[in-house]
């Protein structure tokens, strides 16, 4: 998989960028560059990171020239800075370094945090794997396409996912103040954590005697981040909201639209997407209310937590945010941990589990085939259709995970309802 990504996939992407005259800037860690540049300019000159002028400077650094919306072949993504302003404050130490040095430090740190996050998910799930299977899990996750993509572009979503893992691990150890602080810091990508944040706050309110420390830690930390940002940049909230609204216009739609409703045609795609998204949010609110008192170690808590993450990937995140699919790791861990109970419930569950496993492991299988093919017929893997084979299940995997979670919930509910 590493060979496929670094020796076949990335060179092809770079070659296409060169043809379109977009290869004159930073390619490695290009997602981190807007954070680095805006942090540098905000702290040194108090420049607003959300202005069109700053967006043009970001484009110059990434492509060697500003993007032209009327030029055929230019990407629709304007690469504007769309994170809350306190993201720049969090990364201010990196802004003191040159970008070539900062990106190495940040990408290496994100890799370490990803590994640490895997251990935190396992600890929070109370899943005592042997070191052999921990090694296998690390190898597979770090060599997955979402992880390789996230590390190559320097995606700060890896930090957010680590903070989310640290939040539930701290909750598991009854360190609720620390959990609230970690969750507040994860608001650097609020679209990724919004639903689970709502659930955890509701959950804490139902366990108020000890949960109040979680609520205090969350709101005090978030208030400190927001107020400090307002001191540095008084009007950042309105600028950020405007940037988010514009961002939704030029990025790819969520997976619910790309995978399910787009085949219906332009006439029905919009209404169908709205209906499915609304239904998903209603389901999320029902689950939050139903399992608001679930113990942290219970299946009900983890089912709700992982379903909310899967729904966020499908209905809220833009379609190109494949790197954020690593937030599905706890859901996959939960399904594999409870596979014996799941597989013994009938042929339908076994079939769904097999389909989900095939979607999960297909990228490594296809990458192996392309690697062998490149040794004997080097020109064949260069075609776009063949080169994209390992990525064919990327968009469908979140739906498979969501379906398996609900199937696991049905099986668990049936087993609990049986008389002893």
Mean pLDDT of the chain: 91
pLDDT given for residue 124 in this prediction: 95
Q: What is the pLDDT averaged over residues 267-274? A: 87
Tokens 């304007």: give the residue: 78
Count CA atoms within 13 Å of residue 66 on its CB side.
9
Rounded mean pLDDT, 92-97: 92
Neighbouring CB atoms inside 10 A of 218's CB total 26
Query: From the CA atom positions of the chain, what is the Rg in Å?
Result: 22
Mean pLDDT, to the nearest integer, of 221-234?
95
pLDDT of residue 54: 94
pLDDT in tens, 314-334: 999 998 889 999 999 999 999
Judged by average pLDDT, the poorest of 79-88, 356-365, 405-414 is 405-414
Taking 60 as the threshold, does the pLDDT of residue 237 lie above it?
yes
Nearest to 327 by CA among 82, 159, 81: 159
The answer to whether 59 and 67 are in contact (CB under 8 A) is yes
Taking residues 167-184, report their average pLDDT.
96
pLDDT band at 340 (very low <50, low <70, confident <90, very high): confident
State the pLDDT at residue 192: 95
Arithmetic mean of pLDDT, 264-290: 90
pLDDT at 394: 92
What is the DSSP secondary-structure string of 116-137? HHHHHHHHHTT----HHHHHHH
- Of 59, 77, 56, 64, residue with least CA distance to 23: 64
Please give the Cα distance from 186 to 167 (Å, whole number). 9
| Residue 419 pLDDT greater than 60, yes or no | no
User: Is the pLDDT assigned to residue 413 strictly greater than 90?
Assistant: no
Is a pLDDT exceeding 70 seen at residue 104? yes
Q: Is the pLDDT of residue 342 over 80?
A: no
Q: Residue 417 — pLDDT band, cuts 50, 70, 90? A: low
Q: What is the mean pLDDT of residues 234-247?
A: 91
Find how far residue 98's CA is from the centre of its chain: 27
Whether residue 414 has pLDDT greater than 90: no
Q: How high is the pLDDT of residue 227?
A: 96
> What would the pLDDT profile of 349-406 be if each residue is shown by its tens digit?
888 888 999 999 999 999 999 999 888 877 777 778 888 999 999 999 999 999 999 9
Is the pLDDT confidence value at 339 over 90? Answer: no
Indicate if the pLDDT at residue 26 is higher than 60. Answer: yes
pLDDT of the residue at 20: 85
More confident residue, 69 or 147: 147
3-state secondary structure 22-33: CCCCCCCCCCCH
Residue 43 confidence (pLDDT): 86
Lowest-confidence region among 233-247, 261-275, 276-290, 303-317 = 261-275
Mean pLDDT of 236-264: 88
285 within 8 A of 297, measured Cβ to Cβ: no
- Residue 420 confidence (pLDDT) above 60: no
Provide CB contacts within 8 A for 151, sequence distance 6+.
Answer: 107, 110, 111, 114, 158
In angstroms, the CA 299 to CA 319 distance is 29
User: For position 163, what pLDDT does the model report?
Assistant: 98
Q: Which pLDDT does position 68 carry in this prediction?
A: 85
Check pLDDT > 70 for residue 280: yes
- Beta carbons within 10 angstroms of residue 335's beta carbon: 21
The pLDDT assigned to 89 comes to 93
Selection from 10-24, 161-175, 244-258 with the highest mean pLDDT:
161-175
């Amino acid at each position: 998989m590493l060979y496929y990504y670094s020796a076949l996939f990335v060179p092809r992407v770079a070659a296409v960028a060169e043809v379109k005259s977009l290869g004159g800037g930073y390619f490695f860690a290009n997602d981190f560059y807007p954070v680095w540049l805006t942090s540098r300019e905000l702290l040194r000159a108090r420049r607003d990171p959300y202005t069109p002028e700053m967006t043009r400077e970001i484009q110059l650094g990434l492509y060697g020239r500003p993007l032209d919306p009327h030029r055929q072949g230019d990407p629709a993504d304007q690469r504007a800075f769309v994170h809350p302003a306190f993201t720049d404050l969090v990364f201010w130490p990196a802004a003191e370094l040159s970008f070539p040095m900062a990106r190495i430090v940040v990408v290496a740190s994100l890799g370490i945090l990803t590994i640490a996050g895997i251990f935190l998910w396992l600890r929070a799930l109370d899943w005592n794997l042997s070191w052999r299977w921990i090694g296998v899990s690390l190898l597979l996750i770090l060599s997955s396409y979402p992880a390789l993509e996230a590390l190559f572009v320097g995606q700060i979503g890896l930090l957010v996912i680590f903070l989310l893992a640290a939040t539930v691990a701290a909750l598991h150890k009854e360190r609720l103040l620390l959990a609230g602080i970690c969750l507040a810091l994860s608001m650097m990508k609020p679209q990724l954590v919004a639903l689970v944040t709502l659930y955890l706050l509701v959950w804490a309110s139902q366990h108020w005697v000890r949960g109040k420390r979680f609520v205090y830690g969350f709101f005090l930390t978030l208030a400190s981040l927001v107020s400090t940002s307002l001191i540095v940049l008084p009007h950042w909230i309105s600028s950020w909201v405007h940037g988010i609204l514009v961002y939704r216009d030029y990025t790819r739609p969520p997976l619910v639209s790309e995978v399910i409703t787009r085949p219906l045609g332009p006439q029905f795609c919009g209404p169908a997407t709205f209906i499915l998204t609304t239904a998903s949010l209603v389901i999320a609110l029902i689950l939050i209310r139903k399992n608001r008192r679930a113990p942290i170690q219970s299946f009900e808590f983890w089912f709700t937590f992982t379903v909310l993450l899967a729904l966020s990937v499908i209905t809220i995140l833009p379609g190109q945010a494949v790197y954020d699919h690593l937030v599905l790791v706890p859901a996959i861990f939960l399904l594999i941990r409870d596979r014996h109970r799941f597989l013994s419930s009938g042929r339908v569950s076994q079939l769904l589990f097999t389909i989900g496993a095939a979607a999960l492991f297909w990228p490594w299988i296809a990458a192996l085939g392309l690697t062998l093919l490149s040794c004997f017929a080097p020109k064949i893997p260069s075609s776009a259709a063949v080169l994209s084979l390992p990525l064919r299940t990327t968009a469908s995997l979140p739906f498979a995970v969501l379906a398996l979670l609900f199937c696991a919930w049905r099986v668990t509910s049936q087993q609990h309802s049986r008389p002893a």
